[in-house]
Structure 1
Amino acid sequence: MNQVNVDELKGKKVVWFISSLDISDEYIYKVIIPIGETIIEQYQIVWIPIVYEWTNEAKEKFNQLADNKQWHVVRYFSTIAGIRFIEVDWQYKGKPMVVVTSHRGEIEYRNNSLPRDFSIWEIIIKLGAKWFDRLASYINDQILAWMKEKKHIFFYGGKDDKWVEKFKEKAETFTKDTDIKLVSLISSSKSAKKFWGSVEELFVSVSKINISHQQQVDHHVTQQVQNLFWFKNESGWAVLLEGFTVATSGHGSIMLKVLEDFNEKLKEQVGPNFGSAFKECQKLVVGKEKLHPCYRFDIEDGTEKDIPNHTMRCPDCSRLMKTYLSLRCCHEEED
């Protein structure tokens, strides 16, 4: 916890999280506070707890919530004058809320009644931050360092271990003596579970923003997010990153075919334009081989998350997707 004087934040972009003490660590981490380093670098994050009576129990709860967090906390044990401003000008209604202010102090975003399933992705996407950064934080520290250095990175994985091994061998041969990096996602790892959970949150947020807001998410971002979520249950997949930007991504059958058929041509393009060259070769493979695997999105408790499924368009062909009901039991205990 970093205690902060509000005057120290003048001239800086700030994400203000305002709430009572009636919240949990799980709620803070999952719903409100971004983990990605890029977001933390772009915005100061400040928690203002609204407490009208500081009992010993309240102080203990405050210390527990504020302990070992990456953001700033306005610490006080008596009523502060700013509460009136927050209640009147920011319209605090007793529920957790978020306000984002620019370096000039102007409000860029405000939500004063956060729903149960609110996600920080809504802020990240609408403010145009680098959305893949938070996802990368679930993979490993090395990929974040390479992204900051604007390296080209093949990020890949899949349910089929044989495909994963085959892609790894082909990619290692191709990237030998180049500065292109390789990162795999082990499907059975704890980090993979967190990664796909965060991808689903992002998918849900993008879907809802596109339906409920006049200003939609950029089409390319929507397409990239949908592709990534589709990969979750596929045999193989690969994403080509250029720093924090997704240059292209695709099903395993397509991405492997690109490396097999255009090996020499792509080696000549290794450099700043490698992402564009790979994407063009990918289009040629899709056109020649007629490779258009079916897209499927499996969302756990999807009805409770109020997904606008009847207006969901395929990221590949732009047709309206068909909706199916899927029920499953794997005879396992709940986590």
Structure 2
Amino acid sequence: MYTQSHQDPVSVESQYDVVWIPVVDKSTEWNEARQQLFKNHQLNMPWYSVYHPFLINPAVFIYIQEVRHLNKKPILVVLDPQGKLVSNNAFHMLWIWGMQGFPFTRAREAELWKQQTWGIKLLADSINEDISNWIKEENYICLYGGENIDWIREFIATARKVAEATSIPLQILYVGKSNSNEEQVRKIVDTITVEKLSHSLQEYHQVWFFWQRLESMWHSKTQLGCTVENDPLLLEINTLLSFDKNHEGWAVFCRGTTMAVAKSETILQSLKDFDSWKTHVEDKDFVTALNHHLNQL
């Protein structure tokens, strides 16, 4: 994002620079290996950095940790040209909107949310090029997650059977689980690929980005004072994050801004009950009919 924004030096989005302040525990043994690792990080960064972590006054570390609430995750603090604080952590806006969030003020954040509606574009358009093409082609899209490969096999088989019965163009994509490690993700993705079950996010960083972006939406909304009681978008985001805690799995069917989401046993049972609600598909959009049945359950 930094490189892209600085390709045009006169653009508004390029009018910033980044300074890396490496926060290192002073009790950490600083040997040759750590020094080399630190230098490698510096060389890989296109921005400024403090020359050495131990040059930073201990009081600065205390300030960053206590006032800027730094824990184990990096934060991106934004200051305006006068040095005034604009954002305690702009990573949330960056993951959601990229450089569209510039200059990362609270007002800009609120403005961008006013332009959003809950749908597949907000949820996943930026994570995979295939999704953008499916949206343009007006396909029905199913995103699903979880780690239970037996449930995945049964769910995919049932979903394809229903799609065939209704003659809808359905694309199915596996997006993983938020707390899975790279080895777990690779194992499931390999199984899905070998058995030709569905599409999947092939790289671990894509899975990470999908969930990081969704969590960033939650943080962004809550920092603006929204609650699940007064904000429909936050309610949908919260629902997906809560379903991810379910080991079995979950799925969301969508087309445009019409979405139907449920956790493993509920969504699977709804698809198995298709004969009882298939007449509604003739009167309504498939996702709307599915959502109606899920609400009844």
TM-score, normalised relative to structure 1: 0.49
Equivalent in the alignment of 1:144: 132
Alpha-carbon distance in structure 2 between the residues aligned to 1:140 and 1:192 = 10
Deviations 1:180-224 (Å, cap 9, x if unpaired)?
A: 222222441512222212211111212222349xxx997321111
Q: 2:171 aligns with which of 158, 176, 181?
A: 181
Q: Give the 3 Å change call, closer, same or farther, for CA 207–271 of structure 1 in structure 2.
A: farther
Q: Is residue 139–residue 185 contact of structure 1 (8 Å, CA) maintained in 2?
A: no
Equivalent in the alignment of 2:197: none
The percentage of aligned residue pairs carrying the same residue is 20
Alpha-carbon distance in structure 1 between the residues aligned to 2:155 and 2:294 = 15
Query: Pairwise mapping of residues 1-335 of structure 1 onto structure 2 (< 5 A)?
Result: 1=4, 2-3=7-8, 5=10, 16=13, 18-22=15-19, 64-65=46-47, 92-94=81-83, 113-116=86-89, 119-120=92-93, 121=96, 122=109, 125-129=112-116, 132-133=120-121, 135-136=123-124, 139-176=127-164, 177-187=167-177, 188-189=185-186, 190=204, 191-211=206-226, 219-234=231-246, 235-243=248-256, 245-263=257-275, 265-266=277-278, 269=281, 273-285=285-297
Per-residue deviation at 1:226?
0.6
Per-residue deviation at 1:260?
0.8
3-state SS in 2 of match to 1:119: helix
Unaligned stretches of 5+ residues in structure 2: 22-42, 49-78, 97-108, 178-184, 187-203
Q: Is residue 171–residue 259 contact of structure 1 (8 Å, CA) maintained in 2?
A: yes
Q: Is residue 139–residue 171 contact of structure 2 (8 Å, CA) maintained in 1?
A: yes
Q: Give the 3 Å change call, closer, same or farther, for CA 271–184 of structure 1 in structure 2.
A: farther
For these two proteins, the number of residue pairs brought into alignment is: 198
Q: Give the 3 Å change call, closer, same or farther, for CA 165–277 of structure 1 in structure 2.
A: same
Q: Is residue 143–residue 253 contact of structure 2 (8 Å, CA) maintained in 1?
A: yes
Q: How large is the RMSD of aligned CA atoms in angstroms?
A: 3.7
Q: Which has the higher helix share?
A: 2
Q: Is residue 8–residue 14 contact of structure 2 (8 Å, CA) maintained in 1?
A: no
Unaligned stretches of 5+ residues in structure 1: 7-14, 25-60, 67-89, 96-111, 286-335
3-state SS in 1 of match to 2:144: strand
TM-score, normalised relative to structure 2: 0.55
